[in-house]
Structures are given as structure tokens and as C-alpha cells.
Amino acid sequence: MLRTSAVAGLSLALAFTSAVLADHHLDGESESGAVISLFDGTSLDAWKGYKTPGPPKGWVIEDGVLVHRSGGVDLVTKETFSDFELAFEWKIAAGGNSGVIYRCDETEDAPYMTGPEFQVLDNESWGIDPFDPHAAGSLYGLFSVSEKVVKPAGEWNTAKIVVHDGVVEHWVNGKQVVKAEIGGDKWNELVSSTKFNAWKRFGKLSEGHISLQAHNGQDGDVEPVWFRDITIRRLGDK
């Protein structure tokens, strides 16, 4: 049996621990928002066409999966996002080419002129080395992947894009394959030596839309790309 003084001390310690845990929980709640479903397999209510009011032709839902089969208009979210964690699954047809662009707006001719891109590609058909900065999973044209984890055409990949506190991460199949400081010295060096240097607002937006790219395949025709289970979570300050 515990003495009275010991019981009192234990109660005080438990109360202190509970308060600390409660504070930690509240901090965690303030750092991130609820998970938002951008595509749950049933509708495109969260999306519109680039510079158009509704979802463009060529983007269709088949068996709970979003597919791009024709047309050249990108999808963009109706809402904009600053810091976020975007999760999705994708697969590409042989010869296919697409991408997920983030923090873009509708001021230019295409989303990639303002927003960085998570490349979605059939590397093999295009003859692209997996570690080329234009390969699947890369931060297109700038940062190549650190590991060869992308599955071949026709197979599903899981992916995650995290943008927080000035840093972007690309994840593929559970592996972090890209990490870059937006606007950092390396970033600026690479931008200055590529086509992005001509687009003065590229990578400069602190908030923007998410875009799914409609792009022709290797032979000039559209090769399908599939997306499913697209969710996003807003991230706050640390």
C-alpha cells in the first residue's frame, strides 16, 4: 500500500504528464489540417480545367480510377494550397508522359511555367535513365531521384509530395527520392541553367493549385495515365 504522501506525489506527476501530453496534442493539431480527398473515385468536384470552368474532356472516371485518355487540357484543383502533404497513386501506359504540378497558378500558358513538377513517365519507352532529372519521380528538369524505386509501365506506384517550410520532398513507393530547398542556392543554380529561367514566376509562388498534366505520349498521341486515392493535408508552421 502506498503512503498518503506518495499517492499525492504520484497524482501530481500524473497530472503534469497529462498536461504535457495534452499540450503536445494541441500543438500537433495546429501544425496540420484534416485530410482532404481530392479524388475518391466517384467525382471530379474538386477539379476544373486549366483556365476553364469545369473538368475538360479526356479526363474520365473508370472503375473508381481517374484516367486521362484524350485532349490536351490539364486538370487543376479549384482550391489553392501553400504547405501541404499530397498523397496519390499513379501508373502510366507504355510510352506515356504526365506529371503532377504544384503551387502553380493560371497566369501563364501552362501550369509548369509557374509550378514545379513531379514527373510521371514511362522511363523505358522514352529511353530515359532512371537517375536523369527528367525521369519518373524527379523534380522535373532540376533534381533527379536518389533511388531507383519506380515500377515499370502498367504497374501502380504510391507517391507523396511534401512542401513545408521552404523544402519540397518527393516520395515514391515509400522512399524519399528528392529533397530540395525551394529558392536555395542549388535550386537557383539549376533553374538559371534550364528553360525555367525564362519563366520569372517559376517556383516563386508560396501558394497555388495542384495540377495533373495532360501530355502527349512518345508517338505524339495521348497514352493513358491513371490516378487514384488522391488526398491532401494542409501543413502549418512548426
- 92: nearest Cα among 237, 236, 215, 232: 215
The radius of gyration of the chain from alpha carbons, rounded to an integer in Å, stands at 21
C-alpha 58 chain-centroid distance = 22
Q: Which three cell numbers stand for residue 152?
A: 515499370
What pLDDT does 31 receive? 52
In a domain, 14, yes or no: no
What pLDDT does 237 receive? 57
In a domain, 134, yes or no: yes
Q: Mean pLDDT, 10 residues at a time, over the chain (238 residues)?
A: 40 39 34 88 96 92 96 94 98 96 97 98 96 98 98 98 98 98 98 97 98 82 93 85
pTM: 0.85
In a domain, 17, yes or no: no
For CA atoms 39, 43, 48, 50, the dihedral sign is: positive
In a domain, 18, yes or no: no
In a domain, 39, yes or no: yes
What pLDDT does 127 receive? 96
What pLDDT does 33 receive? 86
In a domain, 19, yes or no: no
161 with 118: CB under 8 angstroms? yes
What pLDDT does 158 receive? 98
In a domain, 41, yes or no: yes
**Farthest CA pair distance, the chain:** 82
- List the CATH number of the domain containing 104: 2.60.120.560
Length of the chain: 238
Three-state DSSP state, 219: coil
In a domain, 72, yes or no: yes
Instruction: Determine how many CB atoms are found less than 10 A away from the CB of residue 78.
Output: 12
Q: Which domain holds residue 182?
A: 34-235
Amino acid at the residue 89: E
Number of structural domains (the chain) is 1
